[in-house]
A and B are shown apart, each in its own frame.
Chain A
């Protein structure tokens, strides 16, 4: 058998295993239960949560985008490491509080969280739509990644459009059949695969091409020290751009619906222990950055095509590795892309159903809602597929674009939690203004002031408008405000409520 055949065989095998693990995990739980589909019965253990979070670290973005940035841009690629490490810190404070409120009001989405506090259908629909479109962009990133992997690992024999289609079909199948539980168990399997492969391959590439990292970076620094610095003459990113990109990513991180929903499905201890471990998870991507640096000065960008393709390119073209190793790397990269794709698809469908569908057609039964949620999974996939195949942006650019929209939820969420004086009109107008400003700078303006990320400019406008309008509108005096802002963990009843699903989940695990 030729190399590409072996590698394709391994990737197909991987996809089959992922599907079996996913579908098996979905069995045995009550399929018809809306509660189970959305938050896995509110009782995900520490182990599962760690892997869900670990799975979130590795995505097509870290597997392909990070080496690509290290290769073409140098030091700015460190932003990926920095933002991943610090992005979860606010969760230590926010997560348990959001979780308690979620249990009190029986919430499972970001839309539900904001709508319960601000009691506005229009706001629910707005948030639902923005989350929907940001998630599609995020998903497109992953699909693009998977397509690149299929394409390069089979030496061009699987066309870009076809590869994305196959992988997506599998993601849709197991998200739609198993819900979050399926996604979580697949992530355990995928997490192990991704971590092993990225370290083995990253170290192997550096060793084969340069010997040690010292030799590699000595050569790089001697050739161009500014390549390893930010914001100096000759470096590829300004200091404000670097800082604002990290800020946008860290501030936006928890506002992703799939991250936000983790607060509901994990208890406070799990949340805190996850926050502790997260900076170390971020270090797992170091070898992927090293692999990107290894190619600098050795490989010509013109030969690679796009910078995203550098890692698979190195493995297939530059190093003469055996076919089975290609396949394994392909499988790990697919795992990275799919584990992110499944959770994002799942929560996009949830936000869309909760925000847009339920507000427009309020009298649907649970059964119909679940059906719509599952159909939304298919629709979201189809849209993301179109962007991935016809859009033509790099994976980092796609993801940063999506962050610009998602970050606009931050002022609303924070003031829902901590600021009594905020009003519905303030939050609504703030989100619209922030979203519009971000969109303007992303699509129509060629540059932004001081090279600040468009999302951050939108966020500033959003916050100012929200605070301003809140002060000129009538304060909200309902009891909901009180129970959000002054939430203490005093409600015994709430705890009992969360214990019931916990017990059944444990039975299932053992």
Chain B
């Protein structure tokens, strides 16, 4: 993968992940019930996507053609 297309992927993926905590997509997570892991659904939704983002960026880092740059 070229540096340029990696950059494009990175921007698209991170924007999509970010949009999960913004309206209108956050509408799906915006409710009190059910309680999951002792947290309201809205709270859990945000934490869930933060964890997914962490994993996604970690994977992106491993396929980054430019990761050894200084």
Contacts and interface: CB of A to CB of B under 8 A. Distances in A.
A276 B58 contact: yes
Contact of A269 (B7, B18, B58, B69): B69
A412 B15 CA distance: 21
A23 to B, nearest CB: 32
Contact of A89 (B14, B26, B46): B14
A51 B51 CA distance: 20
A90 B53 CA distance: 13
Contacts of B68: 269
B40 to A, nearest CB: 4
Contacts of B35: 214, 217-218, 221
A43 to B, nearest CB: 11
B67 to A, nearest CB: 6
Contacts of A247: 22
B46 A275 contact: no
Interface in A271-292: 272-273, 275-277, 279-280, 282-283, 286, 289
Contacts of A275: 57
Interface residues of A, number: 51
A78 B51 contact: no
Given A86-B17, A217-B38, A283 B64 contact: no
A96 B66 CA distance: 11
Contacts of B30: 75, 229-232
Given A85-B53, A283-B50, A221 B38 contact: no
A48 interface: no
Contacts of A269: 67-70
A405 to B, nearest CB: 22
A242 interface: yes
Contact of B43 (A228, A240, A250): A228
Interface string A251-284: 0000000000000000111001101110110110
- Interface SS, A side: helix
Contact of A93 (B10, B23, B39, B70): B10
B46 to A, nearest CB: 5
Interface range, B side: 35 or more
A246 B22 contact: yes
Contacts of B22: 243, 246-247
Contact of A212 (B38, B46, B70): B38
Contacts of B64: 272
Interface string A376-401: 00000000000000000000000000
Given A85-B53, A221-B32, A240-B23, A230 B42 contact: yes
Interface in B45-65: 46-47, 50-51, 53-54, 57-58, 61, 64
Contacts of A116: none
Given A86-B18, A213-B39, A489-B69, A81 B58 contact: no
Contacts of A93: 7, 10-11
B53 A228 contact: no
Q: Which of B43, B46, B54, B58 has the most CB of A within 10 A?
A: B43
Interface string B2-39: 00000100110010011001111011001111010011
A253 to B, nearest CB: 12
A419 to B, nearest CB: 15
A444 B27 CA distance: 32
Given A218-B35, A279-B50, A282-B50, A250 B18 contact: yes
23 contacts: A75-B42, A81-B50, A86-B50, A89-B14, A89-B57, A96-B69, A214-B38, A217-B39, A226-B32, A229-B30, A229-B31, A232-B30, A239-B24, A239-B27, A242-B26, A246-B21, A267-B70, A269-B69, A269-B70, A272-B67, A276-B54, A280-B54, A283-B51
Given A214-B38, A221-B32, A243-B26, 9 more contacts: A81-B47, A85-B53, A86-B14, A86-B18, A90-B14, A93-B7, A228-B40, A229-B30, A272-B67
Interface of A: 75, 78, 81-82, 85-86, 89-90, 92-93, 96, 212-214, 216-218, 220-221, 225-232, 239-240, 242-243, 246-247, 250, 267-269, 272-273, 275-277, 279-280, 282-283, 286, 289, 489, 495, 498
